[in-house]
Amino acid sequence: MTGPAPRRIRGLAALPALRALLAQVLAFPLTLLATWLLARAGVLGGEGGATWFAVALLQGAWAALVSWRLRLASWWRAIGLLFPVAVLAASAGATAFDLPPALFLAVFVLLLLVYWSTFRTQVPYYPSGKGAWDLVAQQLPQDRPLDVIDIGSGLGGFVLDLARRRPDCRVSGIELAPLPWLASRLRALLANSRARFLRGDYEDLNFGHYDVVFAYLSPAAMGALWRKAEAEMRPGTMLLSYEFIIDDRPPDFSFVTTDSKKILHLWHF
Q: pLDDT tens across 241-263, in order?
A: 998 999 889 999 999 987 778 89
- Total number of domains in the chain: 2
253 and 136 assigned to the same domain: yes
**Mean pLDDT calculated for residue range 14-30:** 80
Residues 56 and 186 in one domain: no
Distance CA 63, CA 51 (A): 19
Is 175 in the same domain as 245? yes
Last residue of a domain, one of 54, 78, 99: 99
pLDDT score of 27 more than 60 = yes
The answer to whether residues 264 and 134 belong to one domain is yes
Q: What is the pLDDT of residues 40-85, one digit of tens each?
A: 777 766 544 458 888 888 888 998 898 888 877 676 788 888 888 8
pLDDT grade, residue 6 (50/70/90)?
A: low
Q: Residues 206, 134: contact at Cβ < 8 Å?
A: no
User: Do 135 and 93 fall into the same domain?
Assistant: no
Asked if 64 and 8 count as a contact pair (C-beta separation under 8 A), the reply is: no
CATH number, domain of 149, equals 3.40.50.150
Q: Rounded mean pLDDT of 105-115?
A: 56
Q: Are residues 262 and 222 in the same domain?
A: yes
Per-residue CA distances from 188 to 172, 195, 237 (Å): 11, 6, 26
Last residue of a domain, one of 81, 99, 117: 99
Q: What is the average pLDDT across 186-203?
A: 94
- pLDDT for res 99: 58
Instruction: Give the pLDDT band (50/70/90) at residue 199.
Output: very high
- Do residues 33 and 75 share a domain? yes
Domain membership flag for residue 106: no
* One-letter amino acid for residue 142 of the chain: Q
Q: Which segment of 16-20, 87-91, 122-126, 151-155 scores lowest on mean pLDDT?
A: 122-126
Higher pLDDT, 187 or 47: 187
Same domain, residue pair 11 and 60: yes
What mean pLDDT comes out for the span 99-126? 56
Percentage of the chain exceeding pLDDT 90: 39
Distance of CA 155 to the CA centre of its chain: 14
Report yes or no on 194 lying in a domain.
Answer: yes
Pick from 50, 54, 53: which is nearest to 42 by CA? 50
Question: In the predicted model, is pLDDT for residue 155 greater than 50?
Answer: yes
Residue 244 counted as domain residue: yes
Residues 95 and 135 placed together within one structural domain of the fold? no
143 lies in the same domain as 263: yes
Higher per-residue confidence, 218 vs 209: 209
Q: Is residue 53 part of a domain?
A: yes
Q: Residue 48's domain spans which residues?
A: 4-99
Asked if residue 30 belongs to a domain, the reply is yes
What pTM does this model have? 0.63
Residues 144 and 234 in one domain: yes
What gap in Å lies between CA 243 and CA 106, rounded to an integer?
33
Q: Is residue 57 part of a domain?
A: yes
Q: Does a structural domain hold residue 207?
A: yes
- Return the higher-pLDDT residue of 261 and 1: 261
Answer whether residue 115 is part of any domain: no
Same domain, 254 and 168: yes
Lowest mean pLDDT among 94-103, 178-187, 208-217, 247-256: 94-103
